[in-house]
Amino acid sequence: MAAAFLAAPALAQQAREVKIGYALAINSHYGAAANAWAELVEKATHGAFKFKQFPSSALGGERELIEGLQLGTVEAVIVSTGALSNFVPDVGVVDIPFLFRDTAHARAVLDGPFGQDLLGKFQKRGLVALAWGEQGFRHLTNNKHPVKAPADLKGLKIRVTENPVHITAFRTLGASPTPMSWPEVIGALQQGTIDGQENPMSVIVSAKLPQVQKYLTLTGHVYAPMALMVSSAFWGGLNDAQKAAFTEGAKAGALASRRFVDDVEQKGLAEVKAAGMQVVESVDKAAFQAALEPAYKQYAGKFGQKTLDQITGTR
């Protein structure tokens, strides 16, 4: 009987481990999302689950993380749409340049019927997408010269995500888009294998890109969401209350990422300037849109003009 009493607390304290992987450091918007997600789930389930975080691509690049979900070797991930469109092609529509008017418009689309329907399309690929987090609007950095107009992109080797929509856009603008997994990017910039990259201010700051890039142009060319997901195998083993906890936790993580992005958008510009980056603070977006007209025709053919109109018409 004494042994049984001694064993009871130990059993009560055992928690199921939830491995969660993401690309950036723990002090990034990814980390903010992961921390909030973990905190809510662990509290709501009274310690039945314990998150173990693998930041900074410790489990591989985003493609490897998504494949890990499909194989069931990782329980949860936070990934950008850059890699997701290779698994769920419909996701690529949100990566169309200058599709969203501003942050409020983007959030309204993703939180509304369109964005929620899009989350549901992940299940066919062995993925359970629970919420849309945020990275912010993507901007351009490079080591060659300031980019002020579309013509300034000609010939620049720009790292892009493994995303057909991004690749089409930069090729149309005259750049040389170079798909590359994030863990390889800093080294490639240092070695001159690529001239530049494009990412939101949240990534530019958290990844310390001013250390390896001279010029920043605030193009705001693409809004960048991120998805908080779990594997189908893991999800299938949860009861309804646990599923609710993970869903609400993911939503809390998404909101945490948005708060992080709102903060870094205000402070990040001053920070990168202080670090020595030369910044082009505004561009003629109409000129970029005109240069992208051939790409827009391709996007309409791929995703349907009705879909694009649904997004642009959201208020």
Q: What is the pLDDT of residues 113-132, one digit of tens each?
A: 999 999 999 999 989 999 99
How confident is the prediction for the chain on average, in pLDDT? 94
For 17, the 3-state DSSP assignment is strand
Full DSSP string of 116-171: HHHHHTTGGGTEEEEEEEEEEEEEEEESS----SGGGGTT-EEEE-S-HHHHHHHH
| Strands 278-280 and 196-200, sheet pairing | unpaired
pTM, to two decimals: 0.91
User: d(Cα 180, Cα 259) in Å, to the nearest integer?
Assistant: 28
Count Cα neighbours of 172 within 13 Å in the Cβ-side half-sphere.
Answer: 20
Burial of 241 (0-12, 13-18, 19+ CB in 10 A): exposed
- Domains detected in the chain: 15-256+267-312 (3.40.190.170)
For residue range 218-248, what is the model confidence (pLDDT) as tens digits? Answer: 999 999 999 999 999 999 999 999 999 999 9
For residue range 52-98, what is the model confidence (pLDDT) as tens digits? Answer: 999 999 999 999 999 999 999 999 999 999 889 999 999 999 999 99
Residue 266 pLDDT grade (very low, low, confident, very high; cuts 50, 70, 90)? confident
Q: What does the chain come to in residues?
A: 315
DSSP state of 95: G
